[in-house]
Amino acid sequence: MQEAQKSLSLWAKIKSMLSEKNNIYLRPFISSLLLLTGFIFHFFHFAFYQHDISPLLWNILAYLPVGIPVLIEAYKCIKNKDIFSEYTLMSIATIGAFCIGEYPEAVSVMLFYTIGEIFQDRAVNRAKQNITSLLNLKSNITFVIRNGQAIATDPKLVQIGDIIEVKVGERVSLDGSLLSPSSACFDTAALTGESTPKTIGEKGSILSGMLSLNKVVHIKVTKPYGESTLSRLLAMVKDAAQKKAPAERFIRKFARVYTPVIVGLAILIVLMPLLYASIHPTFHYFFHTWFSKALVFLVISCPCALVISIPLGYFGGIGAASKQGILFKGGNYLNAITKIDTLLFDKTGTLTNGIFEVQEVQEIQGTEDPKEIQYIQTIPQNPLDIPYFVKAIAEVEAKSNHPIAKAILAYAKKINLPIRPIDEVEELAGLGLKANLDHHEILVGNLPLMDNYQINYPKALCNTVSTIVCCAQDRILLGYFILSDTPKKNLVQTIKKLRTLGIKKMQILSGDKQSIVSNLGEKIGIKSAYGDLLPEGKVKHLQELLSQHSHNVAFVGDGINDAPVLAMSDIGIAMGGLGSDIAIETADVIIQTDHIEKIADAIHIGRLTTKIVYQNIALALGVKLLVLTLAALGIANLWEAVFADVGVALLAILNAARIPYSYKSYSK
């Protein structure tokens, strides 16, 4: 019985060695062992190895483990009409080497290529690690509360409005709002790159991919599985690999022309000396010699280093960025961000925290020519003292997701103000909201909105360095809120870092009042600050910059109103884009946190990636050109050809793999 168990155990080990995972190591190991023993047999003059056929058979055995996969790939390429692939070149070169008796060299080409592939796979896996780790966040099961019990369900089957339960240490599978009456702590590192846990209170927004740290929580689902934050993020990561940078596209086109040219030159290396010998009888032509040189030429010509290392470089850059909470939607944007010399910023939520607080509530008395202003306490002592316009503003703003609306609703909650639901609310882009309330037209928004509807207001408000939200009923001003916002932490230092990175021009484009925008610009060191801009005003400003053809412009924004300029700019950068569907869809780069420093990080990663990619191009083309010249002159042999092909590919792969380790974050 024990012997049978040992046999089964041995067979399990053999099967494990032959498994797909280990097969990539087993094949080069067998080939290396046979090649090495062949050298030993030859060196010590083993009798059986001296027979003419023995070295051929022995090296064929060494060739097959590493050669068959390449021959199969060559067949597939030819079948798909891709005749001049690297697999075809290596197949022709190695079979030709067997024909002229260069057995060990033929095996070595395939062996070193296979070893190079292993290094490539390891480098790719390392580069993908930060990105593919997201795939592990996807949960196949979520627990839905049904009749008071938590029932295991496929997340794809969960409906909006369902209640899900997430235990301590589990990941949230769907977006929703927190129902637990007390605050809960969540790890958001997988989504934002932030190591500091985030505390979220009742009705706070919960994103799929977050990890519950301290308690069992109940979450009301607000989005279906396919539209959840994590699903959208994963879809973008997959798409990113498909968007090629200019260097990648160039190499693909280059290879299509380069490879047939090389094959043609290899044929000429064989035929031209023959033609020369027919004209000059004194020249002795040996087919074996020139055929061998042509084979060396073919082996050197394989564009492995270029084809492998350049996409790997860009993928490494995308991986390094994702670790910092920066999502590039493709290698082309990594390349494009290096050329940026002009940065345009939205203000609220981008340069400022976007967390407004109501500072004052002002009620207007005297409607046609308001002169007397009655000050209302921020928190009235008696709810009956709350003016009608305060209720109207809160009820209308309840339909908006703007940071100002959230501040007003927080204020309403603070003073225990009941809010009625309103159905008919129209958003006026860049201005505010229009609603029908108690059979009256209610306008809630900024001063330009009041101007558009010819509503009188105290002109002194134009000079207020704060955010004003007015409320008018039937074209008569009832009152207004004064709110404040604060610049983001480290904003001044970030602006200085961006200048050291060569960003020559920076401007603020905002729909807020000019006085507020100018005041912020003065504080943070940006002289060009433009306020009172509607979305079309931002577009017009950007068009003027782009028409000059001397600027490469990036726009940084976070809201719905920013979507047109995010799309039009050379690079659109969305701040805190995980909460904004339109920002995610429109932007090219997404800063998954609200940290403004990440913009400098994104530019730095793009430049480092591009630098390493061009180093690889120069290395591969330089060495190949040198060895190709030597091969054409008959100086280089097959061993030098192997180094020029596989050796350079290995060096390029190792160079590309260092991107995540060479990068140092500006935000740390």
pLDDT in tens, 65-88: 988 988 998 888 888 887 767 777
Which residues are identified as catalytic?
A: 346
* CA–CA distance, 297 with 93 (Å, rounded to integer): 9
Burial class (CB in 10 A: 0-12, 13-18, 19+), 297: buried
Tokens of 193: 């790159």
Separation between Cα atoms, residue 300 and residue 302, nearest integer Å:
6
The pLDDT of residue 383 is above 70: no
Stronger pLDDT, 314 or 220, i.e. the higher one: 220
Q: Which segment of 122-126, 292-296, 392-396, 408-412 scores lowest on mean pLDDT?
A: 122-126
Average pLDDT over residues 184-210: 72
Higher pLDDT, 237 or 118: 118
The least confident of 42-46, 156-160, 279-283 is 42-46
Would you place residue 133 in the very low, low, confident or very high pLDDT band (cuts 50, 70, 90)?
A: low
Q: What is the model's pLDDT at position 191? A: 61
Query: pLDDT exceeding 70 applies to what percent of the chain?
Result: 77
Residues 6+ apart with CB under 8 A from 648: 304, 305, 619, 620, 623, 624
pLDDT beyond 70 at 505 = yes
pLDDT class of 128 with cuts at 50, 70, 90: low
Would you place residue 590 in the very low, low, confident or very high pLDDT band (cuts 50, 70, 90)?
A: confident
Q: What was the pLDDT predicted at 334? A: 86
Q: How far apart are CA 433 and CA 442, in angstroms?
A: 8
* 3-62 pLDDT, tens digit each: 545 544 554 554 454 444 456 778 888 888 988 888 888 777 776 666 667 888 888 999
Does residue 646 have a pLDDT over 80? Answer: no
3-state DSSP assignment of residue 666: coil
Give the pLDDT confidence score for residue 195 in this predicted structure. 46
Average pLDDT over residues 304-312: 69
Q: Is residue 288 predicted with pLDDT exceeding 70? A: yes
Residue 221 has pLDDT above 90, yes or no: yes
How many Cα atoms occupy the beta-carbon half-sphere of 295 within 13 Å? 25
Closest to 349 measured CA to CA, from 114, 85, 91, 580: 580
Query: What would the pLDDT profile of 600-641 be if each residue is shown by its tens digit?
Result: 999 999 999 889 888 888 888 888 788 778 877 777 776 776
| pLDDT tens-digit map of 513-534 | 788 888 889 989 999 999 888 7
Return d(Cα 558, Cα 456) in angstroms, integer: 32
Nearest to 110 by CA among 32, 41, 36, 43: 32
| Top mean-pLDDT range of 9-18, 151-160, 581-590 | 151-160
- Name the band, by pLDDT with cuts 50, 70 and 90, for residue 470: very high
Alpha helices in 427-513 (DSSP H): 447-452, 491-500
**Confidence at 377, pLDDT banded by 50, 70, 90:** very low
Q: What is residue 372's predicted lDDT score, i.e. its pLDDT?
A: 42
How far is residue 539's CA from residue 112's CA, in Å, rounded to a whole number?
A: 55
3-state secondary structure (DSSP) of residue 615: helix
Query: What's the pLDDT band for 345 if we cut at 50, 70, 90?
Result: very high
pTM of the predicted protein model = 0.63
Q: Among 20-24, 397-401, 556-560, where is mean pLDDT lowest?
A: 20-24
Of 21-30, 72-81, 298-307, 428-437, minimum mean pLDDT range: 298-307
Contact present, 208 and 177 (Cβ < 8 Å):
no
pLDDT tens-digit series, residues 238-278: 554 455 455 555 655 666 677 778 788 888 888 888 888 88
